[in-house]
Chains A and B, each alone.
Chain A
Amino acid sequence: MARRRTQATLRGYRDEAVRRSGAHRVGREWRRLPGPVRSFVPVIVLLTIAVLYPFYLDSLPGNVPIINTFPTVRSGVTILVFTTMAVGLTVVVGYCGLLDLGYVAFYAIGAYTAGWLASGQFQQVKFHFGSVGISHDARGIHVSIWLVLLIAAGLTAVGGIVIGLPTLRLRGDYLAIVTLGFGEIIPQFVRNADSLHGFDLTHGTFGISPIDSPGFGNKLNNAVGLPVSYQQEFNADRLFFWTALAILLVTIFCCIRLRDSRLGRAWIAIREDETAAGAMGIPLMRTKTWAYAIGAFFGGVAGAYVATFNAGAFPSQFSFNISVFLLCMVILGGMGSIWGVVIAGVVLSWLNVEGLANIGTWLNNNIFPQSHQIEVAKYQFGIYGVVIVLMMMFRPQGLIPERRRKRELEEGTRGSLDEPLYDMRGANGPGAGERGTPERVPRG
């Protein structure tokens, strides 16, 4: 009760401030623009900022308080890839409500597929198909990276289906544990599979490297000027960055389209009330498996891309921590909210790759005395844990909730955003679950 009053008071202050600043006039003009324009403009703006990033990065200030420097283009690639995976995980956890604690398995399968199809790993054969940047005498399987991305995605999707078969019929918490299990088994497998009856599948703890580079080959280079081979270009980072951005955009596009499709509705129905969903004709196992497969698909693409970016796939990259890290992004962003996940993904990945270290340095230079220096990066996963726990306790719908009621947008203020909502539903037994609402005063 007191909380509501505080919230109302704060809202009052906010409205007053808005009114005084004249921002509401801007808001009114903004709302006059036609709907489609309104939804496109922010996207275009963000897109422009992102695409031009490598160009203006150098002109950005270098000694910003707290964060120190802006992320390098190279870090940007990692950030984009992790965000892509977070979007993929959103399909599984956010849309369909399946708690997947083993997403890192898909990442691994994708990366190692790239390792198998675009490196000298399998010295027993010599097969080239569209490979760039490598002599055609080189042994091993060398397929064009663009094709490898697709194949890896497909293979990972199949892997997802295989994992899903025993797993998806389980209840919420058991599902989580089993996915965790697979998320552990697969990395342990790749770490040890260097001598399966003498056959070296994954080269053990050394991983597979080098992995070929993406590129367009000489013909396209001569014709249109496209880069021959990324890894060998002098601005390789930028090329990788833009391609990663493209991959992220495609992933976002697909996921938005799916969310608004028949399948997406089915996923959300399952999330909200699995029993009712089944009763309305939704085939539960099949639909959940599709969610898993699609999540796996994008995880596979991301994994394969990282492998070619790092020119290698190494078992040390894959751990349970990553699965939880991605989950943290999904929770922070808002279950099922694509833009929320993208923002949360970018922020958290940045923290992971550079941000925490930078913040630590800044804190140590400016706040903490010499005698009490702290190493912020060490507390990384504790911080993510705290984020998860706090979000679950106070704002489980995420920072940017998925559903924006149309009324809310029109009226601009009130709404479910201020109340703790649980728009996740676990599976309930038939007949169980008191879902009826008590008598209400009939309206109108």
Chain B
Amino acid sequence: MLVFFAWLGYNLQNDPTDFFNIFLIGLTQGSVYALVALGYTLVYGILQLINFAHGDVFALTGLFASTLITTHFHLDETSGAFVILLGLAATFLIAMAFGAIVNASIELVAYRRLRNAPRLAVLITAVGMSFIIQNISLAVFDVNFRSVPPLISDHNVLSIGGVHYNWQALFVVLVTAPTLVVLSWLVKNTRQGKAMRATSQDPEASAMMGINVNRTISFTFLLAGALAGVGAVLFLVEFNIRYDTGFELGLIAFTAAVLGGIGNLSGAVLGAIIIGMIQAFNEGPFLWAPGSDWTRSIVFGILIAILVFRPEGLLGERTPEGS
């Protein structure tokens, strides 16, 4: 860790403009990760289950959204700004619904039956579901990468010194921030949100208090899926998607959730931003940056290190021994 910060410090001194550029890239990427990480953490909080299939739901939704944008809405760089915004808004809503429904269906079909099975059985099932969803993506959308034309320009909004901040990055933040606010409101102030929190702490007591546990769990999955939907569309703005994109992205997002403290919502966001940064710095132009070939290994290394040394993550609570 210290080595990493030293390396960062060195680069900051040497090349501040690049540093801030990468910083912003990391922030942007981190935002997308945050949306997916929240999905993992929400489900884990309530079921103590790692929904392996979540990343693949993300990918499937992204592929679906890309088809929407290109084939159904016919959006491309020549469409007018208003049309683009409208089209994107519609895509967001539809993608959210799609992601929500797929995610909730997985729970209904597979996990619900195994509610009382040993944890290992559900975990294995989650792995199986991940493969099924991935294969559905493959079957419907084939092996090729899908992308959307550059709808948001990559021209710069601001340019201070050599530090650039383009519209695409701004767009990501403009969508992510309100989403997080809405989510936060949902969890804190609505009945369903409170039900979610209660059920994650004690399902039996919640049931006895009159909370419909099944419905609450479904709601959680719907919410997680919707978040993945938003993330998928944002992802499409800059990158392309394939049937197996979900695997790596899912693992990165999961690491972020664990880093922040699995089950903790703010932790998921914090962890995601940190991981986004780490990835950006890793792949950036700096000296000794290992490069994108090593991203997976680095992220996994972080995951392993956290689980071994500080399993409760940055914001999680140390659980008392024995529970």
Do A184 and B300 touch (CB < 8 A)?
yes
Q: Assess whether B293 is interfacial by the CB under 8 Å rule.
A: yes
Do A379 and B139 touch (CB < 8 A)?
yes
Q: Assess whether B130 is interfacial by the CB under 8 Å rule.
A: yes
Give the contacting residue for A393; candidates B48, B114, B296, B311; CB below 8 A. B114
Given contacts A178-B303, A378-B138, A429-B323, contact A389 B128 (CB under 8 A): yes
Q: Assess whether A324 is interfacial by the CB under 8 Å rule.
A: yes
Do B297 and A184 touch (CB < 8 A)?
yes
Instruction: Report B133 CB to chain A, min CB distance, Å.
Output: 8
Give the contacting residue for B307; candidates A174, A184, A385; CB below 8 A. A174
CA distance A374 to B40 in the complex (A): 34
Give the contacting residue for B121; candidates A176, A185, A387, A422; CB below 8 A. A422
Which chain B residues in 128-155 approach chain A with CB under 8 Å? 128-132, 134-136, 138-139
Do A173 and B123 touch (CB < 8 A)?
yes
CA distance A393 to B132 in the complex (A): 15
Which chain A positions have C-beta within 8 A of B128? 384-389, 392
Which of B125, B131, B303 has its CB near the most chain A CB atoms (within 10 A)? B131
Q: Assess whether A36 is interfacial by the CB under 8 Å rule.
A: no
Give the contacting residue for A184; candidates B124, B134, B296; CB below 8 A. B296
Contact with A along B31-68 (1 / 0, CB 8 A): 00000000000000000111000000000000000000
Q: Assess whether A426 is interfacial by the CB under 8 Å rule.
A: yes
Q: Assess whether B127 is interfacial by the CB under 8 Å rule.
A: yes
Given contacts A184-B300, A384-B131, contact A170 B121 (CB under 8 A): no
CA distance A178 to B124 in the complex (A): 14
Q: Assess whether B119 is interfacial by the CB under 8 Å rule.
A: yes
Q: Assess whether B301 is interfacial by the CB under 8 Å rule.
A: yes
Which chain B positions have C-beta within 8 A of A378? 138-139
Which of B128, B134, B294, B301 has its CB near the most chain A CB atoms (within 10 A)? B128
Which chain A positions have C-beta within 8 A of B118? 422, 424-426
Do A185 and B125 touch (CB < 8 A)?
no
Task: Identify whether the interface residues of B are mostly helix, strand, loop, or mixed.
Answer: helix
Q: Assess whether B304 is interfacial by the CB under 8 Å rule.
A: yes
Complex: chain A residue closest to B117, CB-CB = A422
Q: Assess whether B322 is interfacial by the CB under 8 Å rule.
A: yes
CA distance A101 to B247 in the complex (A): 14
CA distance A86 to B254 in the complex (A): 28
CA distance A166 to B121 in the complex (A): 23
Do A181 and B300 touch (CB < 8 A)?
yes
Do A177 and B293 touch (CB < 8 A)?
no
Given contacts A184-B300, A392-B125, contact A385 B120 (CB under 8 A): no
Given contacts A385-B128, A386-B128, A388-B128, contact A178 B120 (CB under 8 A): no
Complex: chain B residue closest to A328, CB-CB = B128
Binds B, one of A24-32, A143-151, A187-195: A187-195
Which chain B positions have C-beta within 8 A of A320? 247
CA distance A184 to B250 in the complex (A): 14
Q: Assess whether B86 is interfacial by the CB under 8 Å rule.
A: no
CA distance A112 to B82 in the complex (A): 57
Given contacts A382-B131, A382-B132, contact A173 B296 (CB under 8 A): no
Which chain A residues in 412-443 approach chain B with CB under 8 Å? 422, 424-426, 429-432
Which chain A positions have C-beta within 8 A of B138? 378-379, 382
Do A381 and B134 touch (CB < 8 A)?
yes
CA distance A316 to B122 in the complex (A): 30
Which chain A positions have C-beta within 8 A of B207? none
Complex: chain B residue closest to A429, CB-CB = B322
CA distance A365 to B234 in the complex (A): 44
Do A166 and B304 touch (CB < 8 A)?
yes
CA distance A378 to B300 in the complex (A): 28
CA distance A180 to B50 in the complex (A): 13
Do A178 and B121 touch (CB < 8 A)?
no
15 A-B Cβ contacts within 8 A?
A: A167-B308, A173-B48, A173-B123, A176-B123, A188-B294, A381-B131, A382-B134, A382-B136, A385-B131, A385-B132, A387-B128, A388-B125, A389-B110, A426-B120, A432-B322
Which residues in B have some Cβ–Cβ distance to A below 8 Å?
Answer: 48-50, 110, 113-114, 117-125, 127-132, 134-136, 138-139, 247, 251, 254, 293-294, 296-297, 300-301, 303-304, 307-308, 311, 322-323
Which residues in A have some Cβ–Cβ distance to B below 8 Å?
Answer: 97, 99, 101, 166-167, 169-170, 172-174, 176-178, 180-182, 184-185, 188-189, 191-192, 320, 324, 327, 331, 378-379, 381-389, 392-393, 396, 422, 424-426, 429-432
User: Which 9 interchain pairs have the tightest Cβ spacing?
Assistant: A382-B135, A385-B131, A388-B128, A181-B300, A385-B132, A389-B128, A166-B308, A385-B128, A392-B125
